[in-house]
Structure 1
């Protein structure tokens, strides 16, 4: 299974969102802009490409009927957004080669060869020009924005102008990770599709099918860490996040006697050039592990069930020694420090050590 949304034919769950779009399509009154929101890895971009393929295919079929003079033939109401991978439309969308589809995302900075941190206003304006062109073949022009969270302020205002004066037969699919942080005026001009986290059983079933060689204990850990998002679970595996988390937890498994030298060595890995994503993922997963300890402690009288066997009981010792209130504060601090470290390009090793040293406080040695 490909992890790329443009090449993924199926979408796990989210039948309600698909039904909403289909009902609008079949009614003949399709809103020109859709805001697709949800947790990272929940399937937002996959749904956007699924909708894009569907619209381009349906538009192509309508064009064929018009060419044949079949203007009054019986209209077929589609019951699914699914387009088979062997369909030419699917292949062209997957290769980003369809003339009626444009994808707006961060581009590579030619001066340093790195991906830009944001989407520039010039790129949004080019998309406006694209949408105003007459469709080359499908009757529709489709724009996918992945994601609106990465627009600069100027770019967001340029998008708002497009939404205020939408061209005819133009469909704008906007991927959004955090709808609370975007301009309210953008939200108000979009029909919203909110993707909810999947139930744990669906995540387990998905992982068992997709990763048949993975052991059951890892499936359980990934189910917890995924937060109901199949894409997040796959990303954790692909980027060896579970291995990193286990390694870190094993380093503190002798809590409260944590080896400073071992933590320094681990911190070095997170501070290397190009290891920004590794740092972000490690801190994020460690925080998810802390959140799991807090939840388990609150519901199981401070006897948390291990997330994975490699914990060696350190979770229980940390909860008993530090207490839930301290762990909640540590969880908050890690979120803030991780975000600040990446945003301001601070010393990642120092940020990591600062957070972990809290667990080595002699006051916890009870």
Structure 2
């Protein structure tokens, strides 16, 4: 396929290796074994829908499957092992020619379908267009001569336009021989039901603290200061992608500052509040603003969730969080208040950003809304 490795990649987390460069997948043995069982039994489906929360390894699994399939030609494939046992792992030798070609996006049997780069606007397009899907059909035609495996990775299928989704559906309905399509989806309910029905699902789960720690070490990331793997996994929701973003932007410490700010509610330290607002309002701090808004929403979500079940979290995402949640969300009625606030704040923030409201004002509005609800 064409070399697009030098262009911005929509499927890469800044500061982390691309999933195709990630050698090992952690914490997803169930999904990996399900694929290997189908392969070993000669029931390799042509379409696989890889689902689960963002950042738990869906793309890493897709690239692992792609390398595995391209390294095992059809004539050596499922059902033809003879006396040999079928493979029990997706891993292939990192020095295998397929591994090098896949890393360079140069394997002739591989096509990566993702949001394209707009040369005119000098930025990535917001959606996967129908023209990109049509390129897959051309890829099938050009790669048919060698009769080898062909693998298509769609990352991610949620980003397809309606026309693109319909065009991909036609490929799923009549796939060429020895073709496997791997569709990555964070929200499979948003896909066409006919696309879902023509794929076998591999669902991935949030990572445990141990697997999260191992995945972060593999990515070259370390926790912040004395942050425990348990706290990071809790705050990131078991998502390595979220954990990488948190560690890159000092997010765990920021969440701790937020919990400390709210610890005396309904009393509020205005100087602390102003300091937090200024952190998200500095010039060039758009990503930090996004993070603070997301952390605030996470705080409200955790209040609502643990208040609804009537018990504080057993693992704190920040010191003092459990006691704070137990005090501010002691019962389902109060939990409902925090859930309603999260919804109304989300709408107000979206509107404020749409009209370019001052970022510091946005953050202060969040803080004082939480203070007022605590006093209510």
Alignment partner, residue 141 of structure 2? 132
Cα deviation, residue 41, structure 1: 0.6
C-alpha change, 1:182 and 1:16, in structure 2 (3 Å) is same
- Establish whether residue 324 from structure 1 lines up as the match of residue 338 from structure 2: no
Query: Does the 8 Å CA contact 1:57/1:138 hold for their aligned counterparts?
Result: no
Q: Which range is displaced more, 152-161 or 40-49? A: 152-161
C-alpha change, 1:311 and 1:62, in structure 2 (3 Å) is closer
Q: Secondary structure at the match of 1:99?
A: coil
- TM-score normalised according to structure 2 size: 0.79
Query: Does the 8 Å CA contact 1:218/1:308 hold for their aligned counterparts?
Result: no
CA shift digits 1:194-236 (9 cap, x unpaired): 1122344543565588756654544332121222223332232
C-alpha change, 1:106 and 1:41, in structure 2 (3 Å) is same
**Structural mapping, 1:63-142, within 5 Å:** 77-135=86-144, 139-142=148-151
**Structural mapping, 1:293-308, within 5 Å:** 293-297=303-307, 307-308=317-318
C-alpha change, 1:108 and 1:341, in structure 2 (3 Å) is farther
Aligned residues: 357
Q: Secondary structure at the match of 1:56?
A: helix
C-alpha change, 1:158 and 1:116, in structure 2 (3 Å) is same
Cα deviation, residue 89, structure 1: 1.5
Cα deviation, residue 257, structure 1: 4.0
Structure 2: stretches of 5+ with no match in the other structure: 1-14
CA shift digits 1:254-281 (9 cap, x unpaired): 5334466765665565467865544443
Cα deviation, residue 168, structure 1: 1.9
- Establish whether residue 358 from structure 1 lines up as the match of residue 359 from structure 2: no
Structure 1: stretches of 5+ with no match in the other structure: 64-70
- TM-score normalised according to structure 1 size: 0.81
Alignment partner, residue 20 of structure 1? 34
C-alpha change, 1:114 and 1:310, in structure 2 (3 Å) is farther
* Aligned equivalent of 1:290, options 300, 317, 324: 300
- Establish whether residue 232 from structure 1 lines up as the match of residue 246 from structure 2: no
Partners of 2:351 and 2:84 lie apart in 1 by 55
**Structural mapping, 1:1-366, within 5 Å:** 3-59=17-73, 62=76, 77-135=86-144, 139-203=148-212, 214-258=224-268, 263=273, 266-267=276-277, 270=280, 277-297=287-307, 307-309=317-319, 318-319=328-329, 323-337=334-348, 347=357, 349=359, 351-361=362-372, 364-365=374-375
C-alpha change, 1:108 and 1:60, in structure 2 (3 Å) is same
Report the aligned-residue RMSD. 3.7
Partners of 1:137 and 1:292 lie apart in 2 by 54
Query: Does the 8 Å CA contact 2:16/2:244 hold for their aligned counterparts?
Result: no
